[in-house]
Amino acid sequence: SIPSPEYIKIHHAHRQFMTPEGGIINALDNISLSIAQSEFITLLGPSGCGKTTLLKIIAGFEELDSGDILLDGQSIIQQPAHKRPVNTVFQSYALFPHMTVGDNVGYGLDIAKVNKVERNQRVAEALTMVGLSGIEQRLPSQLSGGQQQRVALARAIINRPKLLLLDEPLSALDKNLRLQMQLELKNLQTELGICFIFVTHDQEEALTMSDQIVVLNSGKIDQIGTPDEIYHTPKTEFVARFIGESNILSGMVISKSENGVNIDCNGCTIFSHDQTLKLGEEVKLLLRPEHLSLTPNELEGPQAQLTMTLNQTVFVGSDYQLHGELSNGLPFSALTRKTNTPLIKGQQLTLYYQVDALHTIPAKQKSIKG
Ligand code: ATP
C-alpha cells in the first residue's frame, strides 16, 4: 500500500504555560504539520523552542489548550498515554535497574498478558533488531551506555507501536558511539517501517538521519524540509544560522545587468545570479564557507571574488577554516583545502566564491502558520 502523506496530522496545536512571574509563554504557537507513514522526522531547535512539549503532547503526557492530533485519521488527544499506539525513548534510558534485560524488554508484553512462548520469542527478536541478541539475563548495570539505550529501544518497539518518539536519545553517549547509533537508528526505522519523531538540538544529528526536519523557533515552525532544503535553501535567517556554518550579509541591490545583480553589503560588493531581485531591494544573503576558497579550481561553476583580512586559521583535518573580516569589518569565514603559501594573521586574502551557491533569504521572515 502507498504510505499516506498525512498519517500523522498535527492541527493548529497550541499550548501555553504561565511563568512564575505571571507571564505567558506560547510553548507551541498554533502549529500544523503532516507526517507521512514510515517517515523519519526530526524536531530541531534551540533549548526552549517547544520540541519536548510537542513530543509530550503526542505521547499523552501533556495536554493541548487547542488544536488536535490525528493518527491515521483518528483524533488521539482524548486517549490516555498508555492507550495510544505510541512509545517514547528518553535520553535517560529509564530501564528498571532491578530487572533483567529480558524482563525490561518484555515488560509491555507481560502487562498485556502475552503468553510466555510468544513473549520470549518477541523479546529475542527485539534484542536482535537492536544488535543485542542473547543478553536477556544481564542486568542494566552490567551494560554500557550504548547497550542500555539499545535495550530501551528494544523495549519501545516490542509492542509494535505505530509511532516512536525519541527525545534526545543519543545525547548521553560519547561522540563515536553517537555517530554509530545515528546510522543504526535510521536503519532500524527503515526496517520497522514505522514513523519516528526524533527530538534534538544537534543540527548534524538532524541532517544525518532525517527524511524531513522541522525547525522550531519560539513555539513556531520556521521551516519544514528535507535536510538538503533546510541546509541549502533556508527560508529564514534563524534557520540559516542554526544549521551549519554560515556567512550572512545584509545588503541592497545597486546595479542590474543581464548577467546578474550587484549587491552592496556595507561597502563590500557581492555578485548574484538571482534575477528576481529588484534594483534598490534590500536582501539577506547566505554564503556557506565551503562555497568559498583560496583556489578557484576547488569550486564549481561561475565565480566571483571578495577580500577578507585573515584573523585565524584552523586546521580541521581535510580542510582549513579561515576566519577573518571583510573590508566592512563584518566577521566572515571560508573553508579551503590547499594553502600554497603560508597564511599570516592580518594578511589580505582574495577569496573566490561560487556564485550559484549564493542563497537569497526571503526578506519577509514569516513563520509558517497553520
Ligand atoms: P530543551 O531542548 O531545553 O528541552 P525544548 O525545545 O524541548 O527545550 P520545551 O521543554 O518544549 O522546549 O519548552 C518550551 C517552553 O515552554 C520553554 O520556554 C519552557 O520554559 C516552557 N515550559 C515547558 N514546560 C513548562 C511547564 N510545565 N511550566 C512552565 N513552562 C514550561
**Cα atoms found within 13 Å of the Cα of residue 275, Cβ hemisphere only:** 3
Comparing C-alpha atoms, which of 260, 94, 111 is closest to residue 166?
94
Rounded Cα distance, 368 and 12, in Å: 11
Asked if 174 and 205 touch (Cβ cutoff 8 Å), the reply is no
* Ligand 1 in reach of 179 Cβ (< 6 A): no
Q: Is 61 in the pocket of ligand 1 (CB under 6 A)?
A: no
ipTM of the complex: 0.97
Q: Which atom of ligand 1 is nearest to the CA of 62?
A: 27
What residue owns the CA closest to ligand 1's atom 2? 47
Report whether residue 47 contacts ligand 1, using a CB cutoff of 6 Å.
yes
| C-alpha 25 – ligand 1 centre gap (Å) | 9
Angle at 14 between CA 13 and CA 17, to 5 degrees: 145
Q: What is the DSSP string of 194-205?
A: -EEEEEES-HHH
What does the pLDDT read at residue 2?
60
Three-state SS for 210-242 is: CCEEEEEECCEEEEEECHHHHHHCCCCHHHHHH
pLDDT of 365: 43
* pLDDT at site 232: 93
Mutate to test the pocket of ligand 1, among 49, 166, 171, 220 (most ligand atoms within 8 A of CB): 49
Question: By the 8 A CB rule, do 40 and 192 touch?
Answer: no
Question: 189: which residues sit within 8 A by CB, 6+ positions away?
Answer: 38, 40, 164, 196
Does residue 359 line the site of ligand 1, with CB under 6 A?
no
Cα gap 84→66, rounded to integer Å: 19
Confirm if 227 and 207 have CB atoms less than 8 A apart.
yes
- Going from the N-terminus, what domains does the chain have, and what CATH number goes with each? 8-241 (3.40.50.300), 245-361 (2.40.50.140)
Q: What is the pLDDT of residue 369?
A: 47
pLDDT at 298: 84
Distances from the Cα of 360 to the Cα of 237, 275, 291, angstroms: 10, 11, 14
Three cell numbers at 35?
507526517
Please give the grid coordinates belonging to residue 278: 529588484
* Cα 64 to averaged position of ligand 1 atoms, centre (Å): 14
pLDDT string in tens for the chain (370-residue length): 566 778 999 999 999 999 999 999 999 999 999 999 899 999 999 999 999 999 999 999 999 999 999 999 999 999 999 899 999 998 877 899 999 999 999 998 999 899 999 999 999 999 998 888 889 999 999 998 889 989 999 999 998 899 999 999 988 888 888 898 899 899 999 999 999 999 999 999 999 999 999 999 999 999 999 999 999 999 999 999 999 889 999 999 999 999 899 999 999 999 999 989 999 999 999 999 999 999 888 888 999 999 999 999 998 888 899 999 998 899 999 998 877 678 899 999 999 999 999 999 976 544 454 4
CB 84 within 8 A of CB 8: no
What's the gap in Å between 307 CA and the centre of ligand 1? 43
Q: Do the Cβ atoms of 129 and 72 come closer than 8 Å?
A: no
The β-bridge partners of 270 are 263
SS3 20: coil
Alpha-carbon torsion angle 264, 265, 266, 269, nearest 10: -50
Which pLDDT does position 127 carry in this prediction? Answer: 93
Please identify which residue in the block is written with the cell numbers 550559484: 356
